[in-house]
């Protein structure tokens, strides 16, 4: 682990030090950034909550059937989110808003061209980044643009949010190596933190920190208030997946084929487990519940590990790579595979309960809420599944 040396200070605090010798009172982070479990019917952020646990409030039936399909008419490498009865998902032609009941298109925002990052929905606004480096705030009701901010590199990971005393911040990472924090109301930059390497994945919020993995094999923790570096940890290979956090532990897989568990307080490594005998990468983000970590690998296997020590509890073999991130719903696990199938497994045994052939590779991560499992195939189709009658 590498401890941070340089600390960045907000502009207001820096000015106060120059003028008065001590910092002025500035915004304070709401320290109650505790895990917020989603109520059934809502999946407004990638992985279901800001700790990226991948836990759904819904209970999945033993068998599902297709409720509706939507054709985006473009490749989809993004993942859906769901809020207030609407599914939001990016594609190669923009951001789509789909009625969760009927599957009909409500609006399409084409200013955000080539969207691979999952969106988030906060207080009636959709926030999403695009491959051209522009980060958008969009009215969730009608798809009109509220503001935009231009980063200097592609944005492929989901954003997140946090509250301060008198405003709210939205945080995202970019291929330009910066983590950005913007005012949700105006798009004004609050701070940016440089990490020194490409950032491809989503941002996790825990306590007063934002966590993200980078392509120089490091995990970074920065302060929510001002972006100062808190700790950095080298995990041995580059990271594109999200860091799932539960019980003070963060779990993430990397392109060296290992799953690493850290103490989120200081970044120290608690355990690591090499999942791949073939050297296959891990691009899937883990799901954590009931002391279990479920995560996919590019050697076609889904693993369930003990959160305490990394012991393998079971593994399931699909037909192709698993880049999709699993979702835990009660005693069920839902995920997609590049073999084109959506799978439902038993959380405690790994036994296959049901699967469906989507007829195209699935790297998308499911949204599970409101009696639906929504997932996208790379050929541009969004599929919603409900309990079979």
Residue 20 in any domain: the answer is: no
Q: Is 14 helix (H, G, I), strand (E, B) or coil?
A: helix
Exposure of 108 by Cβ count < 10 A (0-12 exposed, 13-18 middle, 19+ buried)? middle
Q: Residue 388 has what pLDDT?
A: 85
pLDDT tens digits for range 126-145:
999 999 999 999 999 999 99
| Mean pLDDT within 9-35 | 40
For residue 155, give Cα distances in angstroms to 20, 171, 266, 339.
39, 12, 27, 26
Residue 240 in any domain: the answer is: yes
CA trace torsion 166, 242, 66, 75 (10° rounding): 100
Q: Is 240 helix (H, G, I), strand (E, B) or coil?
A: coil
94-99 and 105-109 beta bridge pairing: antiparallel
Distance in angstroms (rounded) separating the CA atoms of residues 1 and 224: 21
Name residue, tokens 């919020």: 205
Please report how many Cα atoms fall inside a 13 Å half-sphere around the Cα of residue 209, on the Cβ side.
21
| Mean pLDDT within 84-107 | 97
Distance in angstroms (rounded) separating the CA atoms of residues 387 and 2: 49
Q: Is the pLDDT of residue 21 over 50?
A: no
Name residue, tokens 């835990």: 328
Residue 21 in any domain: the answer is: no
Return the ∠ at Cα 104 (arms to 341 and 52), rounded to 5°. 50
Count up the domains in the chain and report the number. Answer: 1
Q: What percent of the chain is predicted at pLDDT more than 70? A: 89
Residue 25 in any domain: the answer is: no
CA nearest 81: which of 95, 71, 102? 95
Q: Which two tokens stand for residue 203?
A: 């941002």
286 pLDDT tier (thresholds 50, 70, 90): very high
What are the backbone angles phi and psi of residue 312, rounded to the nearest 5°? -75, 120
CA nearest 206: which of 243, 164, 238? 243
CA nearest 45: which of 161, 136, 134? 161
Q: Is the pLDDT of residue 24 over 70?
A: no
Residue 119, domain extent: 2-15+31-387
Residue 331 in any domain: the answer is: yes
Distance in angstroms (rounded) separating the CA atoms of residues 349 and 351: 5
11 pLDDT tier (thresholds 50, 70, 90): very low
Residue 23 in any domain: the answer is: no
Q: Residue 28 has what pLDDT?
A: 61
23 pLDDT tier (thresholds 50, 70, 90): very low
Q: Is the pLDDT of residue 351 over 90?
A: yes
Residue 311 in any domain: the answer is: yes
Q: Is the pLDDT of residue 66 over 50?
A: yes
Give the domain CATH number at 173: 2.130.10.10
Residue 26 in any domain: the answer is: no
Neighbours of 357 (CB within 10 A): 10
> For residues 111 and 128, is the Cβ–Cβ distance under 8 A?
no
Provide the H-helix boundaries in the chain: 11-20
361 pLDDT tier (thresholds 50, 70, 90): very high
């Amino acid at each position: 682990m590498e401890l941070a040396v340089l600390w960045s200070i907000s502009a207001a605090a820096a000015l106060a030090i120059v003028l008065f010798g001590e910092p002025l009172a500035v915004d304070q982070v709401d320290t109650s950034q505790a895990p917020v479990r989603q109520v059934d019917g809502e999946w407004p952020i990638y992985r279901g909550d800001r700790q990226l646990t991948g836990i759904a409030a819904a209970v999945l039936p033993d068998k599902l059937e297709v409720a509706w399909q939507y054709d985006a008419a473009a490749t989809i490498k993004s993942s859906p989110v769901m809020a207030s009865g609407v599914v939001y998902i990016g594609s190669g032609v923009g951001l789509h808003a789909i009625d969760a009941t009927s599957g009909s298109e409500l609006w399409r925002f084409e200013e955000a061209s080539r969207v691979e990052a999952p969106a988030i929905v906060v207080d009636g606004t959709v926030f999403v980044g695009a491959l051209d480096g522009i980060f958008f705030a969009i009215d969730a009701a009608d798809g009109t643009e509220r503001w935009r901010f231009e980063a200097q590199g592609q944005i492929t990971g989901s954003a997140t949010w946090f509250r301060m005393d008198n405003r709210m911040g939205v945080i995202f990472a970019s291929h330009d190596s910066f983590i950005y924090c913007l005012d949700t109301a105006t798009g004004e930059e609050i701070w940016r933190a440089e990490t020194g390497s490409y950032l491809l994945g989503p941002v996790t919020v825990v306590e007063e920190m934002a966590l993200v993995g980078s392509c120089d094999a490091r995990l970074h923790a920065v302060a929510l208030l001002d972006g100062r570096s808190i700790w950095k940890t080298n995990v041995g290979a580059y990271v594109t997946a999200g860091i799932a956090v539960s019980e003070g532990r963060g779990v993430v897989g990397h392109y060296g084929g290992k799953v690493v568990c850290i103490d989120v307080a200081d970044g120290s490594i608690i355990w690591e487990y090499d999942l791949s005998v073939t050297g296959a990468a891990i691009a899937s983000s883990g799901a954590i519940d009931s002391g279990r970590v479920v995560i996919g690998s590019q050697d076609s296997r889904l693993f369930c590990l003990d959160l305490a020590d990394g012991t393998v509890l079971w593994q399931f073999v699909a037909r192709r790579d698993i880049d999709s991130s699993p979702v835990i719903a009660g005693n069920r696990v839902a995920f997609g595979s590049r073999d084109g199938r959506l799978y439902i497994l038993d959380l405690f045994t790994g036994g296959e309960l049901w699967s469906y052939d989507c007829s195209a590779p699935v790297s998308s991560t499911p949204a599970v809420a409101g009696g639906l499992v929504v997932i996208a195939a790379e050929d541009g189709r969004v599929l919603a599944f409900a309990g079979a009658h």
